Amino acid sequence: MAPPARPGNPPNHSTLPVTIAMAAGAACHGKLSCLALLSSLLVLLHAHVEPAAAACSVDAIYSFGDSIADTGNLLREGPVGFFASIGSYPYGKTLGKPTGRCSDGLLVIDYFGGPYMDKGADFASGVNFAVAGATALDRAVLLQSGVMMPPASVPLSTQLDWFRSHLNATCDCAKKIAGALFLVGEIGGNDYNYAFFQGLRSIESMKAYVPQVVNTVMDVAKASLLVWNARIIIPGNFPIGCSPSYLSLFSGSSAADLDDRGCLKSYNAFAQHHNEQLQEAIDDLRKANTDVTIIYADYYGAFMHLLDHTSILGFDQGSLLQACCGAGGAYNFNMNLMCGAVGTSTWDGIHLTQQAYKAIALSLLMEGYAQPDDAVQEIWSC
């Protein structure tokens, strides 16, 4: 796969970010009241969360990750297998056409800032290296345990190589990317998803992978430190136990594993285990680099906030844990009939829709789910 940043053959993207984004139905089934509420908030706070609203102190955004960040790279390369349908309707239906985003519309990163927007593909305002299906660990590492990756899957090490090649080939770094914002993830979710979905690993055995995944994420964060005055955002994993895909595959094994929200406690505990180790690594990196802004984005907490405030946000409580575009069943999800395949109805079971991503972006920027909060406000307050 060619690096997305290659001049003259750019990816089709307009911004950047994770993986298993869950409860896709949370966005699809939102009522008009949710749109009205969020629209009002975004009018008042549009300098913070309008799509393409400039982060005032950021000149460029560089993104690494998977489908939560990919705004068109996999589509450019030609999606196959599990991701074959992302270039077809109903993906992108809120935007009027498929864009390569694994959603009906925009992603969290689309609400993070305008400097990243594709302006003639000169990449002066940043580059999105994220590719749907990407893993933190290399293919060879996962194959040692029998975990198979999709053919087009791009590990984080390859994205880092693309970034280094981009710096060497296209920019006067001192002038163009001083003060850039780096979004490192969410990444690592697919390492876990592939193993769990293929039935190859138990939750306990997968914990052995967590330190390797976290170390790989931190390698990219450390590479970002080579850029003058870099600001780094590192998101954690979502509560995968609330995903229609996980619920459809694993909820039948034990009703006692469901919490009061209807989510799988064991898989959410695993996501929290990953997030705890990631935060510990971030703290160590901060201590070693006290002059660098490093922000932890709590995707887990922001999504739980959405689940717990459905009436305020206008979502349909009865549909929160169902996919919008699926093939029926308790969670409207069938791994063999993904969104866009013949015989499905209308939304995906693995990724959120625009409305939910918008609510999460608002929680990160305005409600303290990205820490330290003062650093967040310094970047996005004008």
Catalytic residue list = 67, 348, 351
Q: Which of 30, 68, 92 is CA-nearest to residue 307?
A: 30
Q: What is the DSSP string of 67-107?
A: TTT-SSHHHHH---GGGGGGGSTTTTTTTTS--S-SSSS--
CA 87/CA 83 separation, integer angstroms: 9
CA geometry: angle 115, 354, 156, nearest 5 deg: 60
Q: Which of 119, 22, 127, 142 is CA-nearest to residue 69?
A: 127
Other C-beta atoms closer than 10 Å to the C-beta of 349 total 31
Q: How far is CA 279 from CA 214, 215, 358, in A?
A: 9, 12, 24
Residues in the chain, how many?
Answer: 382
CA 361/CA 376 separation, integer angstroms: 12
Other C-beta atoms closer than 10 Å to the C-beta of 39 total 11
Q: What is the DSSP string of 260-305?
A: TTS-BHHHHHHHHHHHHHHHHHHHHHHHH-TTSEEEEE-HHHHHHH
Q: Which of 299, 275, 300 is CA-nearest to residue 361?
A: 299
CA 17/CA 111 separation, integer angstroms: 10
Report residue 231: phi and psi, to 5°: -115, 135
CA 23/CA 148 separation, integer angstroms: 25
Q: How far is CA 64 from CA 222, 311, 316, in A?
A: 13, 34, 33
- Structure token pair of residue 279: 């935060």
CA 157/CA 168 separation, integer angstroms: 17
Q: Which of 244, 246, 293, 292 is CA-nearest to residue 269?
A: 246
